[in-house]
A = this chain, B = another copy of it.
Amino acid sequence: MDSVYAPGRNHLFIPGPVNIPEQVIRAMNRNNEDYRSPAFPELTKSLLEDIKKIFKTTTGTPFMIPTTGTGAWESALTNTLSPGDQIVSFLIGQFSNLWIEQQRRLTFNVDVIESEWGQGANLDILATKLAADTAHTIKAVCIVHNETATGVTNNLATVRKILDEYKHPALLLVDGVSSICALDFRMDEWGVDVALTGSQKALSLPTGMGIICASPKALEASKEAKSVRAFFDWGNYLKFYKAGSFWPYTPSIHLLYGLRAALDLIFEEGLDNVIARHNRLGNATRLAVEAWGLKNCAQREEWFSDTVTAVVVPPHIDSGEVVSRAWKRYNLSLGLGLNKVAGKVFRIGHLGHLNELQLLGCLAGVEMILKDIGYPVKLGSGVAAASAYLQSNIPLIPSRN
């Protein structure tokens, strides 16, 4: 009952779902229980409090919805906007693309600012549009913090700066699926109105929980928003929050216990240390890519993602072959190139419960695969470059020193 056995541990380097810590697997290893028992609210309350910490918000209201990132997107949009509302969205890769598709399907009037894949959101155009929109017809700016398809991280602080510059009241809705809990993310400081992530990303849980945080302004907007919504309606949750029973319908009990364990580990490591670790993993990966003579799909350093690196292969190579071979020979799972970059990039996810030696094993594997398919890589070169950096930068493990 496993998807095709191979000896040893699978090296899971897709950009989600990611490796689950043993502590979290353990916490979810349990029978069901009565979530209406007098004891259960304590667990829920502790989670709602602690989620705010990983979003870096004190004023936000979190929701833990039994759904995926796609459902969390829908929740962000339908709770804050009305049919036909104008929104600005950035198309920079497959996941921003899918969100835009959803925005259209939910009948919003989407003004798309497109960039070449490999570039970040074009914020100059945003500035122009906001400047022109003195009537404030733009109701929301939707942006993916980290585009998982191209390994591009957008600069949210700048987005906020622009909004402020033009004193524009548009809501700022942020997809933090492959960023929150791995990249530097500051909901309050950056004035994010809705931020969201999925359990199977940097939180290192199984799929099944969409985690959303709404600013007071977003909550206010939800009172007027006319979009039809039922399952994803925040109002339902707020009603049950108020009643102290918390759940309008049955929650994913197992994921809640898993989240408790996951947050405990994150706080034990320290959120800033978690973010620094992801930066190390990102840097190391990029140094390896450079040593191999390959290019990062993200075109400029300012956009480099610390959670996923999309590696551009030479034109005569099909990146799908890299991924296929990784799985068939090395028990290594890499991410495919999607849509416009299909066949052109393969992706190394380096997020979640992961350390440097695991990454070096992956990089050693990628080198062998590149050689397998005829790319003239010098075996060991990427690992050497990454190791040189890591050996100077890995901190001692505090609890062991």
Which A residues have a C-beta under 8 Å from some C-beta of B?
Answer: 1-12, 14, 16-20, 22-23, 25-40, 42-43, 66-71, 73-74, 83, 102, 105-107, 198, 200, 206-208, 227-233, 248-255, 257, 260-261, 265, 268-269, 274, 277, 324, 327-333, 336, 353-362, 364-365, 367-368, 371-372, 378-381, 383-385, 387-388, 390-391, 394-397, 399-401
Contacts and interface: CB of A to CB of B under 8 A. Distances in A.
A395 B390 CA distance: 31
Contacts of A1: 27, 257, 260-261
Contact of A106 (B34, B207, B230): B230
A328 B400 contact: yes
Contacts of A17: 32-35, 250, 253
A17 B250 CA distance: 8
Contacts of A379: 383-384, 387-388, 391
A68 B274 CA distance: 32
5 contacts: A6-B399, A7-B353, A34-B333, A206-B253, A361-B364
Contact of A384 (B6, B22, B231, B384): B384
B39 A400 contact: yes
Contacts of A336: 36
The number of times this chain is found in the oligomer is 4
Given A6-B400, A34-B327, A380-B388, 13 more contacts: A1-B27, A2-B23, A5-B23, A7-B269, A7-B277, A8-B356, A9-B354, A38-B327, A198-B250, A207-B253, A207-B254, A330-B356, A383-B384
Given A17-B250, A32-B18, A8 B68 contact: no
A331 B249 contact: no
A357 B257 CA distance: 26
Contacts of A391: 368, 371-372, 379
Nearest to A177: B250
Contacts of A4: 37-39, 397, 399-400
A233 B396 CA distance: 39
B26 A230 contact: no
A84 to B, nearest CB: 12
A72 B274 CA distance: 37
Given A67-B231, A327-B38, A368-B391, A207 B360 contact: no
Contacts of A66: 66-68, 71, 207-208
Contacts of A383: 360, 364, 379-380, 383-384, 387
A377 to B, nearest CB: 10
Contacts of A71: 66-67, 231
Contacts of A378: 384
A37 B333 contact: yes
Contact of A365 (B5, B12, B35, B360): B360
Given A17-B250, A32-B20, A355 B384 contact: no
Given A36-B336, A37-B333, A8 B328 contact: no
A356 B43 CA distance: 27
Nearest to A327: B37
A3 B42 contact: yes
A360 B355 contact: no
Interface centre among A248, A250, A255, A395 (most CB of B within 10 A): A250
A317 to B, nearest CB: 17
Contact of A357 (B68, B228, B255, B364): B364
A301 to B, nearest CB: 24
